[in-house]
Structure 1
């Protein structure tokens, strides 16, 4: 019986741990759904605002694509929530059956004890049970046995009461799980219907845009020209940083060699050499190497360059707009008007450029760099040290479309990297 009680305790302990894990996962999924809903609401307001324009624009197409992407992500989130609830319902159903079986067994054992106690309830029988003992030691043990039976019966009654409470709690939880699943299934169906409408709207916008191919291509060409200038400016900033590092290394080598000659000894073998790979040249000092290590250690946990992110309108890599191939070396982040743009990590501002009326800020983090483009104003200057989340400037708002959007890029030396892999998941 002692083994049975220990087993029951262990079972309930594991069960509580599993419930806690499910609760945490469910809470995280719910939080993500709330964030996605907020982003969708902001995008919907933006799209309604841009839809007042009689003619469809590329910004409208970008907004509706972002809406569709977020809507699909929300549907996936709901599907994950439904799968989680299915697992909970299955586990809780098994737990209810197990607790019911244990309760039946406890009641059966308790009934047997009550019957035994009833048949042997007279004081005469109890005394005879004690007095027929062979010696005093056995008589004492029989007395203790009778006392333990009464105590054990009380504990069994408490176990039965506790198991009944656990069973009722699990039944209530099971009903709650089923209701939550029903609600999620309804939400999922609504989201799918909305997604279908958004895809129809996207198709209509594409049709409308196809009627104005010439003007659309002009807009794309203007955007591409500005993007090319930004890319060249970033490349120039990296090149200058490389040249500065190389000059510093050469100066250190020359100084070490001159000192060795003055002291009439061979040049030290520890003199640094300029790295052969451009991706490595930005980690030449111990301080820069440590900063690089710290930056790398925060991969996937860096804060977003804007506090209020509405949506990512362009992802990293190759993409197509109206059949025209393009490539993004970073991501485009839609935010709110007047939003502050902030550094995602501590470092040093190595360049501030004016690109067609908006600013580009490049920050160095040891062997890594981050670039922030489309700022209407800046609050930092070249050579300035910045801390994590320190404001670099204010995001620019397009006067025609009313959209506020910045570009964000991450580099290791001259190699561009996917910023999504570095930022905290949204």
Structure 2
């Protein structure tokens, strides 16, 4: 009965161990992605370091990197916790296997002792012939045969249990070693986090002393944003005017093809590819407090994504180029229509398309400008529905 309880307990532990292993695989996958994200941000920070002066972009990147590092530490702590749970389950398995082995050996010793007492062929033969009738004699003969087979099976069970016990002990040692390695890794990540927080504070302090420069930068960005918005609205209004004339003054209406494209675009909300191959969102959509200047709010009609020098902009969905805008002093911009929706790509150095061109998802449409004074390469990306801007992070894959 005790052996049966032990077996049932071990069987109960197995699915729990499997669940823990699945969770650990997910944590390992997350940790691997976090490592890649941190490495990429390090690469971008090296580019900003070439400017030899602190910038807002550097501060944004450091904040994102610190968030990744904190997520990494949280991930490692979860992994350590899972290992502790798994080690506890393995320890319980070892205890039950040890108890099972004791019981099996006791039972086996009793069988050996019984076999010793009835070791002669004469004793076994007399046991059979002492039966009251033939039927009883046959049953006694079958009993002796089954008893002998069970004794052999019991020996094999002892060996298998002993092997399982050795395997579990090795497994426990391996988990303890993993746990020790993770603790070392955790302490290393904590040290890196402390260093990054120190760097962030240095950049923050350096930027605080540049209040006038930052205010000028805000003013310049606001001016660039107004110019871009006016140009976008002019193109939209022109499209509406032409469509109205085409429809005989009935007003702006989407064609069946445009409606179908709108529907496809909308169904891909949260699944659209990014407007460049790789990057980090360094300024969010909408109104938010300035990271340095007190009581100052800034507004962004889209998102800014920092990337590497030489990176290209690409279309996030199939559509038609409805405008190529030249913004003196701040590069060029491209508008791509997707039925009722628009995607806008600005801060471009060169454009590879022209008005009227059809573009496909992920097709390169232009190269990005780099600001050498800040070591910054970024794209400004917007999504419009009709004449209203929308939050692009809700449209791009894994952008939140």
Distance 1:69 1:225, change over 3 A: farther
Q: Which has the higher contact order (CA 8 A, sep 6+)?
A: 2
Describe how 1:47-66 pairs up with structure 2 within 5 A: 47-50=48-51, 52-53=52-53, 56-66=54-64
* 1:52-95 deviations in Å (ceiling 9; x for gaps): 24xx3333333433333333333333333333333333333333
Post-superposition offset of 1:171: 2.9
Post-superposition offset of 1:31: 1.3
* 1:227-283 deviations in Å (ceiling 9; x for gaps): 3333444555666666777778x56x98xxxxxxxxxxxxxxxxxx989xxxxx799
Q: Residue 354 of structure 1: which of 326, 351, 362 is its match?
A: 326
| 1:154 alignment counterpart | 152
| 1:263 alignment counterpart | none
**SS of alignment partner, residue 400 of structure 1:** coil
CA distance in 2, matches of 1:292, 1:110: 73
CA distance in 1, matches of 2:116, 2:304: 81
1:353/1:360 contact within 8 Å kept: yes
**SS of alignment partner, residue 321 of structure 1:** coil
- Tell me how large the CA RMSD over aligned residues is: 3.8
Post-superposition offset of 1:368: 4.5
**SS of alignment partner, residue 354 of structure 2:** coil
2:318/2:358 contact within 8 Å kept: yes
| 1:30 alignment counterpart | 31
| 1:343 alignment counterpart | 315
1:237/1:351 contact within 8 Å kept: yes
| 1:313 alignment counterpart | 282
Post-superposition offset of 1:314: 1.8
| 2:76 alignment counterpart | 78
CA distance in 2, matches of 1:136, 1:368: 95
Residue-pair matches, total:
394
CA distance in 2, matches of 1:382, 1:214: 40
Distance 1:58 1:116, change over 3 A: same
1:303/1:424 contact within 8 Å kept: no
**SS of alignment partner, residue 406 of structure 1:** strand
The alignment status of 1:404 with 2:373, answered yes or no, reads no
CA distance in 2, matches of 1:403, 1:320: 19
CA distance in 2, matches of 1:385, 1:139: 95
Describe how 1:129-144 pairs up with structure 2 within 5 A: 129-144=127-142
Distance 1:163 1:339, change over 3 A: farther
1:282/1:367 contact within 8 Å kept: no
Runs of 5+ consecutive residues of structure 1 not aligned to the other structure:
255-272, 276-280
Runs of 5+ consecutive residues of structure 2 not aligned to the other structure:
none
**After alignment, is 126-135 or 390-399 more displaced?**
126-135
Structure 1-normalised TM-score? 0.76
Distance 1:167 1:58, change over 3 A: same
| 1:287 alignment counterpart | 260
Describe how 1:13-412 pairs up with structure 2 within 5 A: 14=15, 17-18=18-19, 20-50=21-51, 52-53=52-53, 56-234=54-232, 287-288=260-261, 290-292=263-265, 294-296=267-269, 299=270, 301-309=271-279, 311-317=280-286, 318-323=288-293, 324-356=296-328, 357-366=330-339, 368-412=341-385
Post-superposition offset of 1:376: 1.8
